[in-house]
Structure 1
Amino acid sequence: MAAKEAKDAGGEGLSRREREIMDVLYKLGQATAAQVEMALADPPTYTAIRTHLTILEKKGHVRHTQDGPRYVYQPKVAREKMAQKAVKSMLSTFFNDSVEGVVAALLNQEDTKLSRDQLDRLSAMIEKAKEEGR
């Protein structure tokens, strides 16, 4: 199953399980495969987790250090950088590179609740982008 998910994710993309593992690593900062297994709500086998961690390492998303017989994994890329990559991929895949389309989709979600302060901050970001010619 792990190999199929990795293959389905393709290139630098992450499968659902890989995203879950990355989320655990970002939350904990670093973890062994056993710690990842304990942190997942519905974990696959320990062997599958090790396989996913190896795949994530080959893709350049994690690195490991050795602590005795155990490998301790850490995210190699900051969460913010990964988020930017994910947004860029989503933008091109689903919105034909339209930032307006993404923002409209987010604002049109029925469960989107923005406070007046959040709307003001978004307006300020839009004004700044206008000033910078973006």
Structure 2
Amino acid sequence: MSEKASQLSRRERQIMDIIYAKGEATASEVASGMTDAPSYSTVRALLRILEEKGTLKHREDGKRYVFLPTEPVQKASRSALKNIVNTFFEGSLVNAVAALVDGREKISPEEIQRLESIIKQAKNR
């Protein structure tokens, strides 16, 4: 899914965000969760496209289709983040982290401690 996930349109990404937040959703639940939602038939068409791309699957609940992601959010978010790092930061983890840190006015002591712990673990590998 990692390559497929990086090829999602803005609307497809919005739909995936809604489904990840809910865990699963019907087309009407997706449409009601969208800002400036397209027509119901457009939402259904987008859900079908997402199934064809392999990012969603569905189960039947009576007459309704309930849509679920094909990968856990953690795996999908890692793939998306890797794509962002490759696209915007020339594949450099250092440049990506620097952009995140430089863009914040304040980093809490807890966040700094967590970052230091992650760096220490990386050094020990």
Measured against aligned partners, the alpha-carbon deviations of 1:73-120 in whole angstroms (never above 9, x if no partner) come to 0111111111011011111111111000000111111x4532001101
Deviation at residue 41 of structure 1 after TM alignment: 2.0
Distance 1:48 1:113, change over 3 A: farther
State whether structure 2 residue 62 is matched by structure 1 residue 83: no
Between the two proteins, the alignment pairs up a number of residues equal to 121
TM-score by length of 2: 0.91
Identity %: 41
**Aligned-residue CA RMSD in angstroms?**
1.3
**1:112-131 equivalence runs, <5 A:** 112-131=105-124
**1:1-80 equivalence runs, <5 A:** 12=4, 13-80=7-74
Distance 1:73 1:65 in 2: 7
Distance 1:45 1:112 in 2: 40
Distance 1:46 1:120, change over 3 A: same
Q: Residue 6 of structure 1 aligns with which residue?
A: none
The question of whether the paired residues in 2 share the 8 Å contact of 1:106 and 1:112 is answered with no
The runs of 4+ residues in structure 1 deviating greater than 3 Å are none
**Which letter does structure 1 place at the counterpart of 2:66?**
V
Q: Which runs of 5+ in 2 are unaligned?
A: none
**Which letter does structure 1 place at the counterpart of 2:119?**
I
Measured against aligned partners, the alpha-carbon deviations of 1:25-57 in whole angstroms (never above 9, x if no partner) come to 111111110111111122111111111111111
Distance 1:103 1:32, change over 3 A: same
Q: Which runs of 5+ in 1 are unaligned?
A: 1-10
TM-score by length of 1: 0.85
